Chain A
Amino acid sequence: MSLFRNNYKKLVQENQCGLAEISGESFKALDSMFNYLITFEVSRFELEVIKKDLIGLAKEAEAEGEAFLDKIGMPQKEFCDSLVKEEMRQSVLERILPQIKYSAVWLLGFYVLWWCIEGMPKDYGITVWMLVLTFGEDCFDSIIGAKLRYRSLDQSEAKRKMRMMVSFLISAAIVFPAIVEVPPFEAFVVRGNGRVIFIILLLLFAAAFFGNNYYWDKCSEKYNWR
C-alpha cells in the first residue's frame, strides 16, 4: 500500500499503457466500449478491472490473428449491457470522495495563491469566488455534464469534440464572473486569522487526499487485478 499513489490510479495507468499497445479495429472497438460503459453509474474500480480484462482479451485476439469483436462473438452493445447488469453500481462514497479531494485541492490552492498575492494578511478568509471556482465545476459536471455525455457506441470524434466544446463553454460561463472580480464575488464567506484558515484547509486537504487513497486501496482488495 502506497500512501501517495492509490491502486486505482495504478490500474488506470496500467490500462492506458495497455490500450496504447492495441491498434486498428480492436482499439476502436475497445475505445467506444469504454466510452459507452462510463456513461453508466458503474463502479469506477470495477470498470478498470473490466478494462484490463478486455485489453488482455484484445491482445490475445491480436496474437491469435483474430478480430477482437469476433472473439467476443456478440454485438458490442449487447456485451456492454450484459456487463452493466452485473450489479456493478457505483457507491455513494465512490462518487463523492474524488470530488471532495479535488475540491479540497482547489480550495487550498486558490486560498494560498490569493493569500500570498495579498501579502499574507493576518485577517483573511475564503471568498465567494473561491467557492464558485471550487464547487462550480463539480456541480456543473454532476448536474449538466452527465446529461451531455451521450450514451452511444458509435460516437464520432467530431460529435465528441462538439460535446466537449459545449461543456467548456458552460464551465466558462460559470467561472467567468468569478475571474473578472465582480464585487459580490469578492465578499468573504469565512473570515478570520489567515494562518489558522490556512492550517485548517491544509488539514482538510490531507484528510481528503489520504482518505481517498485509503478508500481506493481498500476497494482494490476485493479484486485480483495484479
Chain B
Amino acid sequence: MKEAVTGMDKSQMMKGKLEGCILKIIDKSETYGYEIVEQLQRYGFVDVKEGTLYPLLLRLEKKGLIVATFKPSPLGPRRKYYNLTEAGQEYIIRFYEVWNEVRQTVEGIFCKED
C-alpha cells in the first residue's frame, strides 16, 4: 500500500503532456533541442534530458507539426532549429482545450464539497 503511494510517479504523469508543452515552447520562438530541455526543466519537467526529447521531436516532425532547419551555431557545428507548422498551431489549441477539460474533471472530483 505504502509502495503504491510512494511509487506514484510524477514524471510518468507529466509525460503525456510533454508533446503539447514542447510545441508551446517552440511556438513562442524558434528554438533548438538543448534550449527546449532547459525551458522544460525550468518549468518542472526535471527528468527531461536531450535523450528523452529527441525521439519526441522526431515524432512531431514526422507528424508535420514542426519543421526543422539547420543553422550555424556559435559553438561550431550546425544546429537544428525547430519551428511550428500550421498543423502544429492547430494542435496546441486543441491540446489546451483537452487539457482544460481534463483539469476541470479532476478538480471537479477533488474539490467537490460533499
Contacts and interface: CB of A to CB of B under 8 A. Distances in A.
Given A63-B75, A63-B77, A86 B49 contact: no
Nearest to A64: B75
A74 B69 CA distance: 26
B80 A56 contact: yes
Contacts of A64: 75
B79 A60 contact: yes
A73 interface: yes
B20 interface: no
Interface string A110-141: 00000000000000000000000000000000
A50 B51 contact: no
A25 interface: no
Contact of B54 (A53, A63, A78, A224): A53
Given A56-B77, A85-B55, A87-B62, A224 B69 contact: yes
Nearest to A72: B51
Contacts of A73: 49-52
29 contacts: A50-B58, A53-B54, A53-B80, A56-B77, A56-B79, A57-B50, A60-B76, A60-B79, A63-B75, A64-B75, A71-B50, A71-B51, A72-B49, A72-B50, A72-B51, A72-B54, A73-B49, A73-B52, A74-B51, A79-B55, A82-B51, A82-B55, A83-B55, A86-B55, A86-B59, A87-B62, A223-B61, A224-B67, A224-B68
B78 interface: yes
Given A60-B34, A63-B77, A79-B55, 8 more contacts: A56-B80, A72-B49, A86-B58, A86-B62, A224-B68, A224-B69, A224-B70, A226-B70
Nearest to A85: B55
A101 interface: no
Contacts, number: 59
Instruction: Give the 9 A-B residue pairs with the shortest CB-CB distance, closest first.
Output: A73-B49, A72-B51, A59-B77, A74-B51, A63-B75, A82-B55, A79-B51, A73-B51, A224-B68
Nearest to B32: A60
B50 A83 contact: no
A46 to B, nearest CB: 8
A90 to B, nearest CB: 15
Nearest to B77: A59
A85 to B, nearest CB: 7
A223 B55 CA distance: 15
Nearest to A49: B58
Interface string A214-226: 0000000001101
A86 B52 CA distance: 12
Nearest to B54: A53
Contacts of A60: 34, 73, 75-77, 79
Interface string A30-66: 0000000000000000000010010011011001100
Nearest to A224: B68
Given A53-B54, A60-B34, A86-B59, A74 B75 contact: no
A57 B33 contact: yes
